[in-house]
Structure 1
Amino acid sequence: MSSSTLVYLARLAGTPIFDPNGDQVGRVRDAVTRPRPGTLAPRVLGVVAEIGAWRRIFIPMGRVINIGGGGVELSTGQLNLRKFEARAGEVLVLGELLDRRVSVITEPGEPERLGEVTDIAMCPVKATGDWELARIAVRERGGRLGRSHVNQFDWDEVRGLVTVPTAQGTEGLLSIVEGMRSADVATMMLDLPKRRRVELAAALEDTRLADVMEELPEHDQVDIIAALDRDRAADVLEEMEPDDAADLLAELPSSEQAELLDLMEPEEASPVRQLLKYVAGTAGGMMTSEPIILPPDTTIAEALALIRDRRNSPAIAAQIFVTRPPSLTPTGRYLGIVHFQRLLREPPADLIGSIVDRDIDPLDPADDLAKITRKMATYDLVALPVVEAGRLVGAVTVDDVLDHLLPTDWRDQPHD
């Protein structure tokens, strides 16, 4: 077997997939194998491809005509867009085998050699044209200084890859998701077995995990938050947007809600408690309590600097809500909206109070989805204020509305 035929799958992850015309149709995210009896290397059935946002599909190896560090070339541009779901007996190489703790076969009398899988290579079988797993990169730990080193072994020289582990590391998975968008990490996690999903979630930093959680369906959020210890769960909830944290907590029993809210820092728990008071599906139930809010004596230059903050989503940064102090919800008296395009057209030294749009009627916290969508369409806005007793309590954004308009399984539906 020539080393030039080896394709290492951890290195292949994220590389582009091209159709016969050279157009990119997606990216490689994993490979699917089926174990064989004894020490026979598993056959590689195909690759898991990410096609656009939220969709992962299966591409059989028979459709692949070239594969390597530059990506994957296909023999056809026609793809089955059915959402990938592993069948019984199938194994995801990166999702399930990476970081697996294994032992290396040694000569009689030699000490046992243990390590973790850092990468797995596949190669074509000349006789059949099939692909199979061939080489395993293992990080071994040992020596007098306890240093680790990576060695490569043939498939039949390693034990422990086809057994179900009781625990598994995450270093390899973390290296794969590093730099990926939170929505892509969420999609990848949905493809993993529940055990690996929880292990990866536990290994992510609080802020990163919070961003990923916000992209997951609520029932999957509940599974992950339930698997974390209570202090860690509270820390992650603190990092989430208050409306997302409130939506998640609303799915938990009241006793768990109270426990987690008590463990959160008071200033982080306060807006979440406020949001939990509103009925689900209403403006109050779907709003964010932290839009951009400024007093009328703020200069246009200061307002522009604030909306440039990359942490603000496009929907949040599209407008500023102007109120009397205090500027935390519930605010002082609500005055109106200033649109970012208007800010771009005015002198930087002017005050935003001079350009407030007072003609847009705010939402009431009890307004239902139909009323919200009609008002958003009428004013052609991406966010609307929610006002109670003359005070701003939050804002409903277009992404909040879409989440409630789309069916709960919209991420699983085919799309172009």
Structure 2
Amino acid sequence: MALSYPKTDSMFIFFSELEGLRVTDKDNNTVGIFYDMIIEPIGKYARSKILIVESGSWRKSYASVGWAHVSEVTQNGIRIDIGASGLNFSAVLNHKSELSLRQDILDQQVVDTNNQNVIRVNDIHFLLADRDMVVAHVDIGLKGIVRRLGFEALVDAVVKLFNKNSDYINKPRLISWKHIQPLSINPVSMTVKVDVSSKQLLEIPAADLSEIMLDLSPKHRLALFKTLDITTKSQIFSLLDIKEQKSLLEDLGEAESVEILNHLPTDEAVDFLGELPKAAVHNVLGLMESKNAKMLSTLLGYAGESAGGLMTTEYIAVSEAATIEEALRIIKEKTLKAETIHNIYIVDQENHLKGLT
């Protein structure tokens, strides 16, 4: 019978300290070694869900153990409360759609939503909380690499000998898991497997998020982009250059591409479509909302560098007889609806242009 919570030597432990640890069953027989852990989100953090046990030297096989069956975790080994006969070993792991620490986090690129950059994970830091192992931090520093290589004690001793105040010793580079956005890809949806930091992602300005995306590999860039809401997608798309825009839409399906174009300001949609072959433009317009398609089709009839090519259907016209208060009210109402306003046109009673600001 499982204990109420796993026993540990410490409240904290690193993934590198778990790697290769002996796993024993309820009868204290060795059934394999620690290989991996499947985690699940709990609010802004994540906790242990499944222990992956590895067995065999040449022909390796793996068994999944629900974390509820883990009765003890120490730096000397892991104990489970079931017998060896209750484990089903297989040469293939069947957790492709779930978040694996070894495959999806360790040595992988992730987004640090707090510092708004892309980082590489060198080790993973756990906190024992109740009966769960909670992912507390990721280690992005040199110390994480040294720890995984097994030289932490030696290197620490040498560094302290020469400089006991070294940042290597006193300032570990740990990033809180609540600021981490994993980029592992769900093979079915082709989006990121788990969006643990969606709120933090939305707090990153579109300009900064677009720069983050450019630091990612093409497949992770696409997976992260597909995870975002349509407003953020269109904002980021607007900030990309034409080459990057074309590349992104080529990787997206037609439906997603058209949705983005439908949400772009008119002049930006015209600029983008003007760079495409006519056949491609006709295909896109045929898939767009009829009102938008008709508007864009009309504007695309102008040469790219002509006045028409720079046109937008979004504008503000104010009567020359309007008071300042009336003009401000009109401007406020119009700008709430319009995406792009460059000028305010002054017109007379017959709507003739008298000037602009």
Taking structure 1 as the reference length, what is the TM-score of the superposition? Answer: 0.42
TM-score (norm 2): 0.48
Q: Which has the larger radius of gyration?
A: 2
